[in-house]
Structure 1
Amino acid sequence: MKPVKSGIDSISKYLRSKKEVGRRKIGLLVDGPNILRKEFDVNLEEIRDVLKDYGNIKIGRVFLNQYASDKLVEAIENHGLEPIICSSDVDVRLAVEGMELVYNPNIDTLAIVTRDADFKPLLNKANEHGKETIIFGVEPGFSTALKNSADYVILMKKDRMSSYDESDGIAPGEGKIDAAEYQDSIYEGAVEKTYVEKT
């Protein structure tokens, strides 16, 4: 009996040593009908990889309308995210869930994947309550108001992502890092980072 107990103790000790201290606790919300379209070719795995570099995704939900296919729901589940099927307006449900995350003491970063300016008040409320905000979006139609409300903006394009960080204070077009120079193996040369000062 003692070897079993010591085995459990050593496993517990190992798991405690692996507990990551100081990493951000992220709530991820994806506006499915707005962003998960063939013309945008958005990769949920790539979004997860970017966020995993920054912190731990504690809550990950993808909001879908009632017309979402079973294959899409299955793909979302296979990415470790929770599909939320909305019988009415997806934006309302996402905003309500987002407000819950704003008041959740176990979440310190709110990440939203959308192009829709309707979520600007949600980002503002999150910022008021000391949450960091990250917005992922695609062009065309990525709201400028939304970009200006977030702490970090990540523009997703085919084969690359560009990030805009308010803290660097670099003018548009300056500070580009060529993908070949960027040595992060997770992105395998498919990322271009551009930093601009938020106005």
Structure 2
Amino acid sequence: MAHEDERIALLLDYENLAIGARDGLGVVPFDFGPVADALAERGRVVVRRAYADWSAFDEDRRMMARAQVELIEIPQRIGGSRKNAADIKLAVDAVELAYEREFITTFAIATGDSDFTPLMHKLRELDKRVIGIGVQSSTSALLPPACDEFLFYDRLPGVEPTRAPLPPRRRRGMARPPAAAEPTQPTPSTGSAPPTGSTESTGSTEPTDSTKPAPAVAAAPGPFGVAFRDATDGTDGTDDTATTGAEERDVAGLVVSTLTGLGRQADGPVVASRLKRAILRKDPTFDESDHGFRGFGELLRHLEGQGAVTLTRGSAQGDPEIGIRDDPAADHDAFAQLVDVVRELTAAGGPPQLSGLKDQLRKRVPGFSEKRYGYGSFLSFAKAARARELIGMEWRDDAGDYVLSPVS
């Protein structure tokens, strides 16, 4: 009998997830229900396992048992030393399931620890779909790109934080803030601080004086406004924390540019379901609800109303065909703005270089994005203007860049 639903194996690095929810959101005890509901929408969960030293989670243990989760006991303290052995046990079990349970099509790995990135890659190499789940404030920036889809626990329906998420913490190796900005702390007369690079589990100790929050350092946003801010993942102090900044993301640009790319490769019409899968491959954290839409179809209808895309009835009900609206007037306006900026900069100080030109254009047109017009990069947009003989553009070795000039 053919199975139509995804068969999902859920493996939880419970200490990482529960402590991240506690410290970042004030959720105590950890609420497993939103995770179960999110996965139920994606397929049948046929394996549920949670790995932890359950002696530290008495109340959680009872709740997880009622949720039909198999509890894998991993003692963390042996003698006077403490070692997190849950990570390697989870990884071994995942690979074993991938080989011995061929009917499992999807692995949901709940953790924010970047140490699991090789596991994600290996599972995808074995032709398994991988869904990551983590608390946003404690999820490494390395983890979401390794997954087919990544769900931030903070944004799952039913999660009710009792406090605002913690700000990102200073990454090891970054400059400390000025001493005057920090309160003076008395030096303990006895005892010693745990060594840097400790192998203790995520969030298992309170932040020491050397790991106290410092002002966040802004980082350059990635594709479509996905930003990775400097912060630790709570494991070894070396990773950034993943954050999406969804409110600032140019969702129209993301949809149109992805649609344009699919159109170049497709030998037929592009349907909504295929477009959504492609967007998730670009940005596994994408969620249309971040932009105020209840579903992907509602988002597409909104973009249709803005004139960004066109929708026509597809062969399958509820899966429309999507196209890019041919709007010569909008393209003309965008190219006209570029020509005006090039002309002004040339008059002020000579022909401008391509680098920095987009920022100058945004001063005139705030929020400008070439992706809204179907161009994958600003260089492609400038080349399109040159092809239309609206500007001159040539490479100069002395400048190490393209130099643009107005067409007389």
TM-score by length of 1: 0.71
In 1: Cα distance, 2:8 partner to 2:17 partner: 20
Mean CA deviation greater in 49-58 or 68-77: 68-77
What is the match of residue 133 of structure 1?
130
**Kept after mapping to 2: 8 A contact 1:101/1:110:** no
In the alignment, which of 86, 95, 99 is matched to residue 91 of structure 2? 95
Task: After TM superposition, give the deviation of residue 146 of structure 1 in Å.
Answer: 1.1
CA distance 1:51–1:174, shift in 2 (3 Å): closer
What is the match of residue 5 of structure 1?
none
What is the match of residue 182 of structure 1?
294
**Kept after mapping to 2: 8 A contact 1:33/1:64:** yes
What is the match of residue 26 of structure 1?
8
CA distance 1:33–1:108, shift in 2 (3 Å): same
Within-5 A mapping of 1:50-199: 50-88=38-76, 89-103=85-99, 104-157=101-154, 160=157, 167-168=278-279, 176-177=288-289, 181-182=293-294
Give 3-state SS (helix, strand or coil) of 1:177's partner: helix
In 1: Cα distance, 2:31 partner to 2:54 partner: 21
What is the match of residue 33 of structure 2?
45
CA distance 1:171–1:56, shift in 2 (3 Å): closer
Post-superposition Cα deviations, 1:49-89, rounded to whole Å, max 9, x if no partner, equal 11111100000001111533332211101111111110241
In 2: Cα distance, 1:180 partner to 1:84 partner: 39
In 2: Cα distance, 1:101 partner to 1:159 partner: 27
Residue 35, structure 1, aligned to residue 14, structure 2: no
Task: After TM superposition, give the deviation of residue 174 of structure 1 in Å.
Answer: 8.8
In 2: Cα distance, 1:114 partner to 1:141 partner: 9
> Deviation above 4 Å: which 4+ runs of structure 1?
158-166, 169-175, 178-181
**Kept after mapping to 2: 8 A contact 1:152/1:166:** no
Post-superposition Cα deviations, 1:140-165, rounded to whole Å, max 9, x if no partner, equal 23112111100001112167589997
Rg larger in structure = 2
C-alpha RMSD of the superposition: 3.2
In 2: Cα distance, 1:72 partner to 1:94 partner: 19
What is the match of residue 190 of structure 1?
none
In 2: Cα distance, 1:31 partner to 1:54 partner: 20
Give 3-state SS (helix, strand or coil) of 2:289's partner: coil
CA distance 1:65–1:100, shift in 2 (3 Å): same
CA distance 1:108–1:157, shift in 2 (3 Å): same
Matched pairs, number: 165
Which residue type is aligned with residue 152 of structure 2? L
Higher relative contact order (CA 8 A, sep 6+): 1
What are the ranges of 5 or more consecutive residues in structure 1 without an aligned counterpart? 1-18, 184-199
Which residue type is aligned with residue 125 of structure 2? E
Structure that is richer in helix per residue? 2
Give 3-state SS (helix, strand or coil) of 2:143's partner: helix
Give 3-state SS (helix, strand or coil) of 1:110's partner: strand
Q: Percent identity?
A: 25
Mean CA deviation greater in 155-164 or 65-74: 155-164
Task: After TM superposition, give the deviation of residue 47 of structure 1 in Å.
Answer: 0.6
In 1: Cα distance, 2:284 partner to 2:149 partner: 15
Which residue type is aligned with residue 9 of structure 2? G
CA distance 1:182–1:126, shift in 2 (3 Å): same
